[in-house]
Every structure is written in C-alpha cells, then in structure tokens.
Chains A and B, each alone.
Chain A
Amino acid sequence: MEQHKSIIRQGMQDAVPIFIPAIPFTLILALAMIESGMPLWLGWSTSPVIYGGAAQLTLLTLLSDGAVAAITAALIVNARHLMYSAAMAPTFQQQPIWFRWFGPYLLVDQVFALAMLRINDEPHRFRQYYLTVGLTFWVLWLFSTAFAVLMGPVVPASWGLGFVVPLLFLSLLVMGVDRAPKAVAAMIAAAVAYLAADLPHRSGLLLGAGAGVVTGMLLEKLRR
C-alpha cells in the first residue's frame, strides 16, 4: 500500500510541472473554439473526444475552409503518435487487455515522454505510474480548456490575439528541428504550401507537407 501511494505521488509530481507549459496552449485553443463559430460546449468537446492540443487547434482553425481539409490536416498533425504507439508497443504487451485499449487514449506527447522513462519498470508499477500521469494530465487539460473557453470572450477580437496561433506553431516547429535536413525540409514545405495556396480545399497544406517529407528523405539518402 505504501508503495502504491508513492508511485501515485511520484506520477502527480511529474505530471503537474510538465503541464504548466501547456497552459498558454489552452488559452490559444480556447480562442480557436470561440472563433470557430460552434457552440462553446461543442468546441470544448474536442478536448475529451480528440484529446490532443495540436490536432484540436488545427481542426478548429481550418474548419472554416472546409471539413475535408481540416480533418486531413488534423490527422496528419497527429501522425507523430504512430511513433509513440510503436515505441510503447512492447511494454504494453505485458499489460492486461483493458489497459491496452484504454492506455492509448491517454498517450499525448507529455505522457509519452514521462512513460518512456519507466518502460523497464515491473508491469504493475508501470501501469500505475502511466495511469496516474495520464489521468492527472487529462483532468488538468479538460479543466483548463473549459476554464479558458469560459474566460475567453473577455478578450476583444480587435486585439488580434488569433495571431498567436501561427506563432505557436512556428515555435513548435523551431524547437523540433534538431538537424539541418529538417530545417531544409521545413523551408521546402513552407515554399510549396505558399505556391500551392490557391488550390481547392486547402490541399496546398498537404502538398507542402508531402514535399517536406520527400525532401527530408532525399537529404538523408545523400548524407549516407
């Protein structure tokens, strides 16, 4: 029993500080929920239904350009989760079936980062830690997006606060670039997305993203 308590306490102690940098994100997301024109509860329902900040934001900001473009873009933004799923798969093999179904729902970036440090723990301990971190993060996310969406209308539209969305994506982009080919791939993606911007259904976005990935693969091949 003592041990259980300490794992749970440890999980909460790890999850809370990692949540703090996500708070400005929830404010931006709330703004997108308000500006999407949906009823607030429906915009907020993306938090429990999708439960992934970048995908929620992409969907809500692009929805006015058409559902197909917004859905595709949001799912592509989520492609990184495939890597998390693959990396976690061996550890989940030793887990009961209910956890194998429920666990992936909680697998956001931050939970992945923390859980990866524990994959060699004994299965029971791993499960407790994962659930503590995952549920703590989930509750905080649901509460703070709800709080932000209720407080949001306080900020007048004339402030141009929506500009913070591209700034945030740029910030995420820059921090994810860990080697030169990724920077080149990002530039090609941006250039192609701009040149193809007038294509219907915002397909320039996909074309740009595709061009970036192809560029990256070519550069990696050249390096060898």
Chain B
Amino acid sequence: MTFFIVILLVGLGTYFSRAVFILVLADRHISPGVKLAMEYVGPSVLAALVVTMLVTPEGELVLGYAELVALLVAGVLAWKSRSHLLTLAVSMVVFWSLRMLLA
C-alpha cells in the first residue's frame, strides 16, 4: 500500500513535469538562465546518482578493483562508441572476468 502511494506520487510528479508548460504556461517564456540551469540538471544528477549507488548510506565506498576497471571501460566506451548496448555488454564482461580472476 505504502509502496503504491510512493509509485503514484512519482507518477503524478512525472506527468506534471511533462504537462506543466503544455497545459498552463503555454504562452509564458522560460528565461534563458533557467533553460541553461535545466541543461545542467541531467549530468549533475546522473553523476551524483552513480556515486550514491557505489556508496553505503554510512558513506563507505563499495568499489572493488573489478568495479573500478569496469566503470573506466564503460566511460571510455560510451564516449567513443555512443552505444549503450556495446558499452554495457563490454564493461559487464570486463567486470565478470576480473571478478573471476581475482576471486
């Protein structure tokens, strides 16, 4: 029940973010400053998210050698190939191989 309320809240928030300008603010202008700030939301949130997923709530980094190398490989591949599929496939293979070798 609580889970469903949480999901519903995010669902409503998501709909709101997609609908707000279309439904209510159609003839208002967004200032260039706000537009620019919104452009920085994407990379900033993603970077903070990646870190959050690799850190325990106590602030401890959970990052082994295999994870670190896989992240580096993924970063370079994403930059060079522009393909999520290739990036994820290769970096996961690197991750698994290193884990097996180091185990």
Interface residues, chain A, CB within 8 Å of chain B? 21, 24-25, 38, 42, 45-46, 49-52, 55, 58-59, 61-63, 65, 67, 70-71, 73-86, 88-90, 92-93, 100-101, 103-105, 107, 159-161, 163-177, 182-183, 185-190, 192-194, 197-198, 202, 204-206, 208-213, 215-217, 220
Contact = CB atoms under 8 A, between A and B. Distances in A.
Contacts of A168: 84, 88
26 contacts: A38-B3, A58-B49, A59-B10, A61-B53, A78-B13, A79-B41, A85-B19, A90-B26, A93-B27, A104-B22, A163-B92, A163-B95, A166-B71, A167-B92, A168-B88, A169-B46, A170-B78, A172-B46, A182-B43, A186-B44, A189-B43, A190-B47, A193-B47, A194-B61, A209-B48, A212-B45
A193 B21 CA distance: 31
Interface string B24-46: 01110010010111111111111
B22 to A, nearest CB: 5
Contacts of A55: 10, 14
B74 A185 contact: no
Contacts of B49: 58, 73, 77, 166, 169, 205
Contacts of A175: 78-79, 82, 84
Contacts, number: 264
A83 B32 CA distance: 12
> A-B pairs with the 9 shortest C-beta distances?
A212-B44, A198-B59, A208-B48, A216-B40, A104-B19, A174-B78, A173-B46, A193-B48, A186-B47
Given A77-B49, A84-B18, A183-B43, 10 more contacts: A24-B84, A71-B13, A73-B49, A74-B13, A78-B17, A89-B25, A170-B46, A174-B74, A197-B56, A215-B44
A192 B52 CA distance: 10
A159 B36 CA distance: 41
B6 A70 contact: yes
Interface of B: 2-4, 6-11, 13-15, 17-23, 25-27, 30, 33, 35-59, 61, 67, 70-71, 74-75, 77-79, 82-85, 87-88, 91-92, 95-96, 99
A164 to B, nearest CB: 6
Nearest to A111: B18
Contact of B36 (A65, A100, A161, A220): A220
Contacts of A63: 3, 6
Contacts of B99: 160
Contacts of B38: 79-80, 82-83
A42 B41 contact: no
A197 B51 contact: yes
Which one of A83, A107, A217 has the greatest number of beta carbons of chain B within 10 Å?
A83
A51 to B, nearest CB: 7
A171 B47 contact: no
Contacts of A42: 3-4, 7
A143 to B, nearest CB: 19
A104 B18 contact: yes
Contact of A208 (B7, B47, B56, B87): B47
